[in-house]
Amino acid sequence: MQLRYATNLDVEQYIESKAWSDAKLTHCPLHPKGGCKFARHGTYSRKFPDGVKIARWYCSKGHVTFSMLPDCLCSRLPGTLIEVEDVINQMENSSSQEAAVENIRLDIGLPGALRWMRRRLFLIRITLMLLIDLVTSLGDCQPTVSSFRSVLGTEFVLPQLRMFASPYLDILPPPLGFGPRPERKKSKKSYFQHKTGTDPP
């Protein structure tokens, strides 16, 4: 289970200071009265960015590990929230998604790059729509990063929203929140699939 590690450090500062060593979780989230042999459980490394480690704890009674994710990092996606925000900015300020992806992913083909980019856009749009419904002071916002930036008056919206929306992180989807990924609506079309084997005579 992921929990918020409240820190103003960017990812470079987090790595340089080895800030995962300073993360503290005083009691088990499942058993606040104790008795579950709750203890620190080392760290685990993230593949991206290189050098990042995440502090974690283990509840032996609940058989659950808890990790403290700093505000600069994405949940359930590689990289940082600022990197995701840069992708959304490119999309919101480009004439088309195809034009935006030309400046973002040069290492893979266009179809794969579009899927990679649209996955991030979908998750962030859902998150912003939920926040508009949950937080009355955001009622004038549109579900875009640029609109939230204007209302909140901050250079980078997503790390700020991790702090701003901390009471709702367990229901907000990644990469901002720690809740489940929302499912896309499945197409109602059903296609007939013939059985394997040779064609009938």
Q: Which residues have CB under 8 Å from 161's CB, separation 6+?
A: 127, 131, 148, 152, 176
Report domain extents, the chain.
2-70, 81-168
Closest by CA to 54, choosing from 32, 76, 38, 36, is 76
Say if residue 201's pLDDT is above 70. Answer: no
Distance CA 188, CA 124 (A): 25
Closest by CA to 73, choosing from 123, 143, 3, is 3
- Identify whether the C-beta of residue 19 lies closer than 8 Å to the C-beta of residue 71: no
Bridge partners (DSSP) of residue 2 are 67
Say if residue 198's pLDDT is above 80. Answer: no
Question: Tell me: the pLDDT tens digits for 75-103?
Answer: 999 999 999 999 999 999 888 888 888 87
Distance CA 29, CA 69 (A): 15
Bridge partners (DSSP) of residue 39 are 58
Supply the DSSP symbol for 187. Answer: P
If you write DSSP's letter for every residue of 100-113 in order, what string do you get? HHTTT--SS-HHHH
Q: What is the strand order of the sheet 53-59 is part of?
A: 2-5, 64-70, 53-59, 39-45
Q: Quote the mean pLDDT of the chain.
A: 89
pTM for the whole structure: 0.85
Q: Based on C-alpha coordinates, what's the Rg of the chain?
A: 20
Q: Amino acid letter at 38?
A: F
Say if residue 109's pLDDT is above 90. Answer: no
What is the predicted pLDDT for the residue at 75? 95
Residue, of 183 and 88, whose pLDDT is higher = 88
Question: Tell me: the pLDDT tens digits for 118-132?
Answer: 999 999 999 999 999
What is the predicted pLDDT for the residue at 136? 85
3-state class (DSSP) for residue 42: strand
